[in-house]
Amino acid sequence: PASSFGIRHVQAILLFGCLTVAYTLRVNLSVAIVSMTDRNGSNPNFEEYDWNTQTRSTILSSFFWGYVVMQVPAGMLGQRFGPKLFLMGAMAVCSIFNMLTPLAARWGGWGDACDACCLILGVHVTLVALFQAFVFPSTHNILPMWSTPEERGRFATWVYAGSQFGTILAMPICGALAQSAAGWPSAFYLFGGVGLLWCVAWFFLGADSPASHKWISQEEKLFIEASLAKITTSDKVRQDKRHIRRDKGGQEAH
């Protein structure tokens, strides 16, 4: 099992895909907002909004307010109730909200009212961030359950590289779509749709741990659990040794 491709590798690929999609959802507004406010750089047949620099900055910064608030609660909830469903739910909501961004911009930009735009689109972006805050804590909770000590470094490198890959992927695609016949709204529809497809794949193929996966072989399951048990035993031995040294030190002091 150590050298063969297994379900644990599928989990790593899915988590890589999750972070890739999450960052495309996160980046596309930053790129699309250029076309949303300047027809000269994109397809002129789509809406253009007269948003000043302050309005654009407020909209984009709204993401980080929601993202920061939910980081710790998201990790605690994932640990208590299982990260799989939280991760799937977060990605589903983010994807749907991403596809609704053109509609939110249309409502917020009605009449070129910058205050209304900040309120409606800013709240929209903040809600996306509240749910996307579950992505990294859930990934942190799932990855150690599926990676053996020997594979953990490789798995973590592969999975977390998805964030950089998603950023690199989204920028040129968003720019190309904004100039195409589909216009800047298509970037939100494309990445939102990909996010929903990922949710379907995760629902059927993902799991919190080897013990809860339906299709994992008994051999691979025992291999992972035995590897993780060695870590637990090793940690317990180190803790016992520290307690013994501490007790001896206390006795000598007396």
Residue 224 sits in a domain whose CATH number is 1.20.1250.20
Question: What pLDDT, in 10s, does the model give residues 194-212?
Answer: 999 999 999 999 999 999 9
- % of the chain at pLDDT higher than 70: 84
DSSP string, 34-64: HHHT-GGGS-TTS------HHHHHHHHHHHH
Taking residues 207-234, report their average pLDDT: 86
pLDDT digits (tens, 9 = 90+) for 28-54: 999 998 888 876 767 778 888 888 888
Residues 6+ apart with CB under 8 A from 92: 195, 196, 199
Range of the domain at 159: 7-253
Q: For residue range 145-167, list pLDDT tens digits in order.
A: 999 988 999 999 999 999 999 99
Residue at 244 is within a domain: yes
Q: Which two tokens stand for residue 95?
A: 């994807």
Tell me the Ramachandran region of residue 183: left when phi exceeds 0, alpha when psi lies from -120 to 50, beta otherwise: left
Over residues 233-247, mean pLDDT: 44
Domain contains 1: no
pLDDT at 186: 94
234: confidence class by pLDDT, cuts 50, 70, 90: very low
**Mean per-residue pLDDT for 217-226?**
92
**Burial of 25 by CB count in 10 Å (0-12 exposed, 13-18 middle, 19+ buried)?**
buried
Q: How confident is the model at residue 229 (pLDDT cuts 50, 70, 90)?
A: confident
pLDDT digits (tens, 9 = 90+) for 81-114: 889 999 999 999 999 999 999 988 887 654 444 5
For the chain, what is the domain count?
1
pLDDT of 115 strictly over 80: no
Residue 221 lies in a domain: yes
Does residue 247 register a pLDDT over 60?
A: no
Mean pLDDT, residues 207-222? 93
State both tokens at 192: 């939102």
Domain assignment present for residue 125? The answer is yes
Kindly report which listed range (122-136, 162-176, 233-247) carries the lowest average pLDDT score: 233-247
Q: Is 13 a domain residue? A: yes
Please tell me the least confidently modeled range out of 5-19, 82-96, 111-125, 204-218. 111-125
Least confident range from 47-51, 127-131, 175-179, 245-249: namely 245-249
Within a domain: 158: yes
If one compares 109 and 59, the residue with the highest pLDDT of the two is 59
The mean of the pLDDT values for the chain is 85
2, part of any domain: no
For 135, phi and psi rounded to 5 degrees? Answer: -65, -55
The predicted model gives 159-180 an average pLDDT of 93
